[in-house]
Structure 1
Amino acid sequence: MKTKTIQFDQVLGNASTDKRVEVLRAIHQSGSISEAARVNGVSYKAAWQAIETLSNLAGMPLLDKSVGGSGGGGAFLTPAGLQVLQAADLLAQAKAQTLAQLQGVSQGGANQVSSMMGIGIRTSMRNQLPATVADIIQTPIGVRIVMALADGQLLCARITHESLELLGLKKKMPILALCKATAVTIAPTIVALGQVNLLKGYVSRVSRSKTDRQVSMALGPSIQLAGFLDPTVSVKNKQEVMAAIDESAVVIALGV
């Protein structure tokens, strides 16, 4: 039988900016899920979600199943959980050394560094848009994150309260807005309906194939948005168009 290995590249992909690994670390130090939640400023539910997500990414359990009751007492990490913490420490040391080297570059170079936050992310989503958190609106059923793109347009995403806690989102924080090209509808004119983002730009590329409705849309000099043309219309290069993206289709990512 083939021995399973921990998927470190998955479980630690965003460890430097996500509270999940810190929740894991706090459980190891305190032996309690509730205490780990308290010291990290998240709910007990969010702490459990963090462990479940990390275990899924690692491909094996990181917390022993024989945990305590509602208070979470008596929790301890599996050998795989301990290895994940050791790997996280090694990555943190390597990152600190790299950042120390980068701080010696010119101001122009430093600005370029901030624009490379998405390079370490592997995803099937074609659209990865650098943005900053403009507002955080909490509602009884979730949280609406308002993001400002480089060209000044706003893009919204809806996440859970637990995700807000674990990501540690704050106003003015740099993030990445992700969405699949299939979630983007492009047309010359679109009427706003419900919880749908509307962005304006112009066509930068149109597929030559009659059966391929993919379109690239420029939101500014440095932002490209991939989507699919509404089947009832046609467009040409440089034409002004709009893009519609449901708020629930937008995913928020933090740089590695």
Structure 2
Amino acid sequence: MELTSSLTLEMLGQPFLLEKRIKLLYAIAEHGSISKAAKAVPMSYKSAWEAVDAMNNLASEPIVDRETGGRNGGGTTITAYGKRLLETYGVLKEEHTRFLERLSSLTQLETGELQTIGRLSMQISARNQIQGEIISLRQGRVNVSLDILLKSGVVVHSVITKEAVENLGLKVAQKVTAIFKSSSVMLIEKAEMLNRDNYLVGRVDHLISGEDRAEVIVDIGLGDVVVAVVSLDVIKNFKLQIGSEVTVMIKADDVMVGR
């Protein structure tokens, strides 16, 4: 017995992207013909056009472009907007699948028991949560060292227990989230870089000062940002301002991994 569920997106209260419509769009992209795409799904030619019309009507831009006439009798293509929608749906489908896998691992279907369901809806207070991909796993006697490649090209190192790796089912090439508290982020001089902890270089994007502490938001590239909460003395000593280049350090032991 296993958990299954289809993914349907609605727009204006109406079904918009259903799995069968997604299959139709992929088939149109492959064959360039609505009739061939309908046979590939399979569905009737009439149903295929009704689905295309419904999607085009609900969307803010056309998803499918129908060309009529010409020597070859015209054709059907997916617009640039339609291709972006397919990419977005693909990401949502992947997350949906991961959710079902995680839910299955917490559920004893044979007995009807749902275990520790609260963990699925848990929200984490840690300010820094950056998605990346595991590029290496190094086993130790007790702990495992992971390297996580962020979209900025920066590699973040994490050290977690073997039990955590097994519970999360972690493996190379898997998408994960590097998680660490803003209070664990320290500003340092480049000369202090001595070990295998994380040293990330970026520029100050925002500075938010309070009575005795300040929040420093550092852009490390391509939209990846690291948040540090430091004393006002640190701001003064480093002479920080918007645009300043800084190096932040996070201990590998302080980087948790979520999935």
Distance in 2 separating the partners of 1:129 and 1:160 = 20
Indicate if the aligned counterparts of 2:203 and 2:220 stay in contact, CA closer than 8 A.
Answer: yes
- 3-state SS of 2:88 partner: helix
Indicate if the aligned counterparts of 1:188 and 1:235 stay in contact, CA closer than 8 A.
Answer: no
Question: CA-to-partner distance for each residue in 1:107-151, whole Å, 9 max, x for gaps?
Answer: 332365369999966111010000100100111231001100111
Cα offset, 1:214, TM superposition: 1.7
Indicate if the aligned counterparts of 2:215 and 2:227 stay in contact, CA closer than 8 A.
Answer: yes
Question: CA-to-partner distance for each residue in 1:44-92, whole Å, 9 max, x for gaps?
Answer: xxxxxxxxxxxxxxxxxxxxxxxxxxxxxxxxxxxxxxxxxxxxx7xx4
Distance in 2 separating the partners of 1:241 and 1:176 = 23
Which residue in the other structure is 2:243 paired with? 238
Which residue in the other structure is 2:88 paired with? 109
Which residue in the other structure is 2:223 paired with? 222
Distance in 1 separating the partners of 2:18 and 2:246 = 39
The partner residue of 2:253 within 239, 243, 248 is 248
Superposed, which structure 2 residues align to 1:144-163 within 5 Å? 144-163=145-164
Indicate if the aligned counterparts of 2:183 and 2:230 stay in contact, CA closer than 8 A.
Answer: no
Residue type at the aligned position of 1:239? S
More strand by share: 2
Indicate if the aligned counterparts of 2:217 and 2:225 stay in contact, CA closer than 8 A.
Answer: yes
Q: How has the CA–CA distance of structure 1 residues 143 and 102 changed in structure 2, closer, same or farther, with 3 Å as cutoff? A: farther
- 3-state SS of 1:213 partner: strand
Question: CA-to-partner distance for each residue in 1:141-178, whole Å, 9 max, x for gaps?
Answer: 31001100111110011111121112111111000000
Distance in 2 separating the partners of 1:126 and 1:102 = 35
Q: TM-score, with normalisation over the residues of structure 2?
A: 0.55
Indicate if the aligned counterparts of 1:131 and 1:149 stay in contact, CA closer than 8 A.
Answer: yes
Question: CA-to-partner distance for each residue in 1:173-213, whole Å, 9 max, x for gaps?
Answer: 00000000000012463622334211111100012446222
Give every structure 1 segment of 4 or more consecutive aligned residues whose post-TM-superposition deviation is greater than 3 Å: 99-103, 110-121, 187-190
Aligned length: 163
Distance in 2 separating the partners of 1:166 and 1:152 = 27
Which residue in the other structure is 2:62 paired with? none
Cα offset, 1:228, TM superposition: 2.9
Bigger Cα Rg:
2
Q: TM-score, with normalisation over the residues of structure 1?
A: 0.55
Q: Is 1:176 equivalent to 2:177 in the alignment?
A: yes
Which structure 2 segments of 5+ residues have no match?
Answer: 10-16, 23-81, 100-119
Indicate if the aligned counterparts of 2:204 and 2:218 stay in contact, CA closer than 8 A.
Answer: yes
Identity of counterpart residues, as a percentage? Answer: 19
Which residue in the other structure is 1:58 paired with? none
Distance in 2 separating the partners of 1:197 and 1:123 = 21
Higher relative CO (CA 8 A, sep ≥ 6), structure 1 or 2? 1
